């Protein structure tokens, strides 16, 4: 099938309708990444553990999330995203229901590993699926579906706030379990339609051309992106994972911290959409460099900020700075690698970013326990962020990324 014949199959009305449905599923499916952050102070108090131990359930959630992005991403290339999402909804429902009954932090941590694995389907694999349906507008499409992750993190803390203040975190987990079972699961049935035959050909042709022009091989580029992902996400995890606990330490209370997290993530949604538009014009590598540099500058602003107003403002700035970083990795993979490898390659790079989040969440807690404050945790994040910026500059110098080629009219 020629590129001219293939063009109408991508960026079509069906593509945009699929994107909208995928976004709805993402709002529920990604709650597993954020729920443990919101309940962390209450859970820490109930189980009587220190800050580093209280961060272990989050770390295991992210390890499961990372593994799920890779393993499920490979499965989606073979079996399609609908079956994977249905299995994910069932696993999340069972995991949250069982976690609501956890008698200790060890049991909760083990269950969070399963929750994280199931949650992963709603991120990397779903992003890879959506990216297959777009070419000219792939950047904004990927940004929109990736925004589901942040929208989920912004909306769910507000939904659960009254439950956390009343019945407690265990009841909140039961509400999430019911949402996965009765809303997410039925919606996955509507994503059974496969990609039209021949729709990958033009995208594969463009990716092959970029790969030939690149000064880096496929394997080298993949591993460089993975290393960059770890660096940026160790930095990203410091405010995202510990902002609720940080506000509690400053005397503002966990509810204020949850509001800052929501504000940060809503800023991240705007950032992702803007970055998607930039990626359609500048390409994924340059978009990632811009986002990573702005994130590092935003982290520096946290160091002198302890007042309530300044923390709200810096949290918004941080969200506006870093939201487009992770989706840019998926765009880079799709710009340089064949569409038939999208699930596996996007999953691998996203896995690295999530491992960075897991490492950063635990490492920040450890630094807090050793120093008694989060100041050095912020400095640690800035250092890891500098590594990410250096890798992006190296890739630009070697690969000379270009504006994505357009399909013939």
Model confidence over 186-203: pLDDT tens digits? 999 888 877 665 555 555
Q: pLDDT at position 324, please?
A: 84
Q: pLDDT at position 112, please?
A: 94
Q: Tokens standing for 70?
A: 């890779």
Q: Is the pTM of this model over 0.85?
A: no
Please say whether the beta carbons of 123 and 9 come within 8 A. no
Q: Burial of 403 by CB count in 10 Å (0-12 exposed, 13-18 middle, 19+ buried)?
A: exposed
Please say whether the beta carbons of 92 and 118 come within 8 A. yes
Q: pLDDT at position 109, please?
A: 93
The string of pLDDT tens digits covering residues 88-132 is 999 999 999 999 999 999 999 999 999 999 999 998 889 888 888
Backbone angles phi and psi of 389, in degrees to 5: -60, -40
- Dist CA 125 CA 354 (whole Å): 14
Please say whether the beta carbons of 385 and 295 come within 8 A. yes
- Dist CA 178 CA 153 (whole Å): 18
Q: Tokens standing for 320?
A: 């506006």
Residue listed under structure tokens 């949650």: 119
Show pLDDT as tens, one digit a residue, over the chain (409 residues): 444 444 456 778 888 999 999 999 999 999 988 888 888 888 888 888 887 788 789 888 988 988 898 888 878 877 888 899 999 999 999 999 999 999 999 999 999 999 999 999 998 889 888 888 887 788 888 888 988 887 888 788 888 888 888 888 999 999 999 999 999 999 998 888 776 655 555 555 555 555 555 566 777 788 889 999 999 999 998 888 888 888 888 888 877 887 888 788 788 888 888 988 888 888 888 999 999 999 999 999 988 887 888 889 888 999 888 888 888 888 888 777 666 666 677 888 888 888 888 788 888 888 988 888 888 999 999 999 999 999 989 888 876 545 555 544 4
HEC string of the chain equals CCHHHHHHHCCCHHHHHHHHHHHHHHHHHCHHHHHHHHHHHHHHHHHCCCHHHHCHHHHHHHHHHHHHHHHHHHHHHHHCHHHHHHHHHHHHHHHHHHHCCCCCHHHHHHHHHHHHHHHHHHCHHHHHHHHHCCCCCHHHHHHHHHHHHHHHHHHHHHHHHHHHHCCCHHHHHHHHHHHHHHHHHHHHHHHCCCCCCCCCHHHHHHHHHHHHHCCCCHHHHHHHHHHHHHHHHHHHHHHHHHHHHHHHHCCCCHHHHHHHHHHHHHHHHHHHHHHHHHHHHHCHHHHHHHHHHHHHHHHHHHCCCCCHHHHHHHHHHHHHHHCCHHHHHHHHHHHHCCHHHHHHHHHHHHHHHHHHHHHHHHHHHHHHHHHCCCHHHHHHHHHHHHHHHHHHHHHHHHHCCCCCCCCCC
- Dist CA 388 CA 5 (whole Å): 40
Please say whether the beta carbons of 226 and 66 come within 8 A. no
Tell me which residue of 91, 25, 338 sits closest to 206, measured CA to CA.
338
- Dist CA 206 CA 183 (whole Å): 38
Backbone angles phi and psi of 80, in degrees to 5: 90, 160
Q: Tokens standing for 255?
A: 């509810």
Rg (CA), the chain: 20
Domain boundaries, the chain: 8-399
Q: pLDDT at position 201, please?
A: 59
Residue listed under structure tokens 């803390």: 157
Residues in the chain: 409
Q: Please tell me the CATH code under which domain 8-399 is placed.
A: 1.20.1250.20
Other C-beta atoms within 10 Å of 186: how many?
Answer: 11
- Dist CA 232 CA 316 (whole Å): 18
Tell me which residue of 366, 354, 323 sits closest to 233, measured CA to CA.
354
Q: Tokens standing for 305?
A: 């900020």
């Amino acid at each position: 099938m020629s590129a001219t014949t293939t063009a109408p199959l991508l960026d079509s009305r069906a593509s945009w309708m699929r994107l909208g449905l995928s976004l709805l599923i993402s709002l529920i499916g990604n709650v597993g990444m954020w729920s443990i952050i919101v309940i962390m102070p209450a859970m820490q108090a109930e189980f009587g553990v220190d800050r580093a131990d209280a961060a272990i359930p989050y770390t295991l959630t992210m390890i499961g999330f990372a593994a799920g992005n890779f393993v499920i991403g490979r499965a989606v290339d073979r079996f399609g995203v609908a079956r994977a999402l249905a299995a994910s909804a069932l696993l999340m429902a069972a995991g949250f229901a069982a976690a609501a009954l956890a008698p200790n932090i060890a049991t909760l941590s083990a269950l969070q590993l399963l929750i994280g694995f199931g949650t992963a389907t709603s991120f990397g694999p779903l992003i890879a699926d959506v990216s297959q349906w777009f070419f000219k507008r792939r950047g904004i499409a990927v940004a929109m579906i990736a925004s589901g992750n942040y929208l989920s993190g912004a909306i769910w803390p507000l939904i659960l706030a009254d439950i956390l203040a009343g019945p407690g975190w265990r009841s909140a987990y039961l509400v999430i379990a019911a949402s996965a079972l009765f809303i997410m699961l039925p919606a996955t049935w509507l994503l059974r339609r496969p990609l039209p035959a021949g729709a990958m050909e033009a995208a594969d042709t463009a990716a092959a051309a970029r790969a030939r022009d690149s000064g880096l091989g496929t394997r080298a580029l993949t591993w460089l992106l993975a290393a960059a992902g770890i660096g940026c996400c160790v930095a990203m995890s410091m405010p995202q994972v510990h902002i609720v606990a940080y506000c509690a330490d400053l005397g503002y209370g966990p509810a204020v911290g949850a509001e800052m997290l929501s504000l940060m993530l809503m800023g991240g949604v705007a950032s992702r959409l803007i970055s998607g538009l930039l990626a359609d014009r500048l390409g994924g590598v340059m978009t990632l460099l811009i986002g990573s540099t702005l994130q590092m500058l935003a982290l520096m602003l946290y160091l002198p900020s302890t007042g309530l107003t300044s923390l709200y403002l810096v949290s918004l700035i941080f969200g506006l700075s870093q939201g487009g970083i992770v989706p840019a990795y998926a765009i880079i993979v799709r710009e340089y690698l064949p569409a038939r490898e999208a699930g596996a390659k996007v999953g691998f790079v996203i896995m690295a970013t999530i491992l960075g989040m897991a490492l950063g969440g635990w490492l920040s807690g450890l630094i807090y326990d050793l120093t008694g404050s989060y100041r050095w945790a912020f400095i640690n994040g800035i250092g890891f962020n500098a590594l990410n910026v250096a890798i992006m500059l190296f890739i630009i110098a070697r690969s000379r990324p270009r504006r994505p080629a357009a399909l013939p009219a």
